[in-house]
């Protein structure tokens, strides 16, 4: 057993370090009488098996994070029955804790949801030294926080972190512009539910005021309903939307439309689910702008269900180059249902399923429209379903489909469609033609 001090020379790890990032290698292994274990921990504390090796092993290493004690020490121990080893600790980084209460503001519920909302607004207003070199965390404890008529507009270099999507809810009724929570540049929102209940006005849950920066959400739930226009996440300018592990639920009613995400030119979604229903027009995700852009969907599920007479779209890529991987889009109901609408630019779809069904006038799996420029769609290892037509390709546009299932009506629209190794709903194989 040996104690190794890492703070100071030669590693130059500061005394405030709580852990290190290191590669620890064991070599010159001799005399072992059985399988060996090289344990790493802190003195007078717990340890872990950093390395396991047979007695015939001569050298082995592993990388990871190791906590250090208050004196900057780690402790190592060799368990191999007999013999000896040499070892080296190659430190490549360290972690220092952020003292709680120095740049972290803790917000607790103090009474009614309205009183809680006022406390949350005041806590954010009290952060005035935020900068790139001095970031802050606004930590919100479990509770319902109703911000009323004053949206919670985030500040640059201030993150908002709830205590869980089920237990921490920030809510408001109506609120145009930014919505319930307005985003800022270099600001992430996580582990929270953000809700807008409309109250007769526009229902936007998360929004970006022009020039205020990108939208970054992680492990968050977004809900919008009850308004004259219902939008879960709204971008009013040319910044980006970046969501990971986010759930969006939006519902419209009567004459009100519903949109899950109305993004700008840069939309990135991963491991997320969007559900939209009940509006006169229902759109899962809209991405792009008049200047173009890009959209990237990975492990995303979009479900859109519209009432009688509605227009429904799963994913609308407007002049934005789009990629979709391991995702599912299902659109049902209304007058017209379309899984993917591609207007201009190119789309690449792989290992995904797109369905459009049960609309009274037309159901298109994909609609590749001309827009202001030609569009090309590449579809591979996917399933495209449309009751009316699985793909509609307008003139000057092209669709290239390989190793995929195409179900429903045939290709329509007058554009170019090339299929290679596809099969239809009855699993009839088509080597070089489209079903």
State which of 44, 68, 95 marks the end of a domain: 95
Tokens of residue 339, six digits? 């899984």
Whether residue 272 is contained in a domain is answered as yes
The pLDDT of residue 172 is 94
- What token pair was written down for 322? 């789009």
Integer Cα distance of 82 and 51 in angstroms: 17
What's the CATH number where 91 sits? Answer: 2.60.120
pLDDT at 374: 67
Which DSSP helix (H) or strand (E) runs through 113?
helix 113-125
* DSSP secondary structure letters along 300-337: EEEEEEE-TT-EEEEEEEES-EEEEES-EEEEEESSEE
- Let me know: does 221 contact 165? Beta carbons within 8 Å: yes
DSSP string, 203-265: EEEEEE-TTS--EEEEEEEEEEESSSSEEEEEE-SS-EEEEEEEEEEEE--TT--EEEEE--S
Q: What is the DSSP letter of 112?
A: S
Q: For residue 115, give every residue at least 6 positions away whose Cβ sits within 8 Å of its Cβ, in sequence order, or none.
A: none
Domain membership of residue 175 (yes or no) is no
CB 326 within 8 A of CB 301: no
Angle at 305 between CA 303 and CA 306, to 5 degrees: 150
CB neighbour burial string for 123-154, b if at least 16 within 10 angstroms, e if fewer: bbeebeebeeeeebbbbbeebbbbbeeebbbb
pLDDT computed for residue 86 by the predictor? 93
Question: Residue 429 falls within a domain, yes or no?
Answer: yes
Report, as ranges of residue numbers, the positions in the chain whose pLDDT lies below 50. 101, 372
Which has the closest alpha carbon to 87: 97, 78, 99? 78
**CB-CB neighbours of 254 under 10 Å:** 9
* 107, part of any domain: no
Cβ-in-10-Å burial (0-12, 13-18, 19+) of 120 comes to buried
Q: Is residue 232 part of a domain?
A: no
Domain-located, residue 235: no
124 within a domain of the structure (yes/no): no
Beta bridge partners of 422: 430
pTM of the model: 0.77
Q: Which residue segment(s) compose the domain that 269 sits in?
A: 265-435
Q: What is the tally of structural domains in the chain? A: 2
Which pLDDT tens digit goes with each residue over 311-321?
Answer: 999 999 988 88
In degrees and rounded to multiples of 5, residue 394 shows phi and psi of -75, 160
Strands (E) in 292-434, as ranges, are 294-306, 311-318, 321-325, 328-333, 336-343, 345-350, 353-357, 362-369, 375-380, 383-386, 389-393, 398-402, 405-408, 416-420, 422-423, 429-430
Which residues is 84 bridged to in the sheet? Answer: 30
Q: Where does a domain end: 63, 79, 95?
A: 95
Beta bridge partners of 94: 20
pLDDT for 100-136, tens place per residue? 545 889 999 999 999 999 999 999 999 999 998 889 9
Cα–Cα dist 327/307, whole Å? 24
Q: E strand or H helix at 94, and its extent?
A: strand 84-95
Could you say which of 95, 130, 159 is where a domain stops?
95
Q: Is residue 217 included in any domain, yes or no?
A: no
């Amino acid at each position: 057993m040996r104690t190794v001090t890492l703070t100071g020379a030669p590693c130059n790890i500061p005394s405030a370090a709580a852990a290190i990032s290191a590669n620890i290698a064991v070599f010159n292994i001799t005399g072992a009488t059985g399988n060996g274990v090289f344990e790493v921990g802190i003195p007078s504390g717990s340890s872990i098996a950093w390395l396991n090796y047979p007695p015939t092993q001569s050298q082995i290493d592993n990388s990871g994070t190791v906590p250090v004690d208050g004196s900057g020490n780690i402790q190592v121990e060799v368990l191999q029955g007999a013999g000896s080893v040499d070892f080296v600790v190659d430190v490549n980084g360290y972690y220092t804790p952020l003292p709680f209460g120095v740049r972290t503001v803790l917000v607790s519920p103090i009474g009614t949801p309205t009183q809680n909302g006022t406390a949350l607004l005041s806590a954010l207003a009290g952060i005035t030294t935020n900068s790139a070199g001095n970031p802050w965390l606004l930590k919100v404890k479990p509770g319902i926080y109703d911000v009323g008529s004053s949206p919670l507009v985030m500040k640059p270099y201030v993150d908002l972190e709830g205590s869980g999507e089920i237990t921490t809810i920030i809510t408001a009724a109506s609120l145009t512009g930014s919505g319930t929570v307005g985003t800022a540049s270099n600001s992430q929102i996580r582990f929270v539910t953000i809700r807008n209940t409309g109250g007769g006005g526009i229902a936007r849950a998360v929004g970006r005021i022009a020039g205020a920066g990108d939208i970054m959400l992680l492990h968050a739930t977004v809900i919008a309903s009850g308004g004259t226009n219902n939008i879960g996440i709204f971008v009013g300018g040319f910044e980006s939307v970046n969501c990971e592990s986010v759930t969006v639920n939006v519902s419209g009613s009567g004459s009100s439309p519903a949109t899950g995400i109305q993004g700008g030119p840069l939309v990135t979604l991963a491991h997320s689910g969007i559900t939209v229903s009940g509006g006169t027009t229902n759109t899962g995700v809209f991405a792009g702008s008049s200047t173009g852009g890009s959209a990237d969907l990975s492990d995303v599920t979009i479900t859109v269900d519209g009432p009688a007479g509605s227009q429904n779209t799963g994913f609308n890529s407007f002049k934005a180059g789009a990629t979709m991987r391991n995702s599912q889009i299902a659109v049902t109901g209304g007058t017209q249902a379309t899984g993917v609408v591609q207007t201009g630019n190119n789309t690449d779809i792989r290992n995904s399923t797109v369905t459009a069904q049960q609309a009274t006038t037309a159901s298109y799996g994909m609609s590749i429209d001309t827009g202001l420029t030609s569009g090309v769609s590449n579809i591979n290892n996917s399933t495209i379903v449309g009751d009316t037509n699985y793909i509609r390709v307008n003139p000057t546009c092209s669709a290239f489909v390989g190793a995929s299932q195409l179900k429903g009506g045939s290709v329509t629209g007058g554009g170019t469609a090339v299929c290679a190794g596809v099969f239809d709903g009855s699993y009839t194989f088509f080597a070089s033609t489209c079903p």
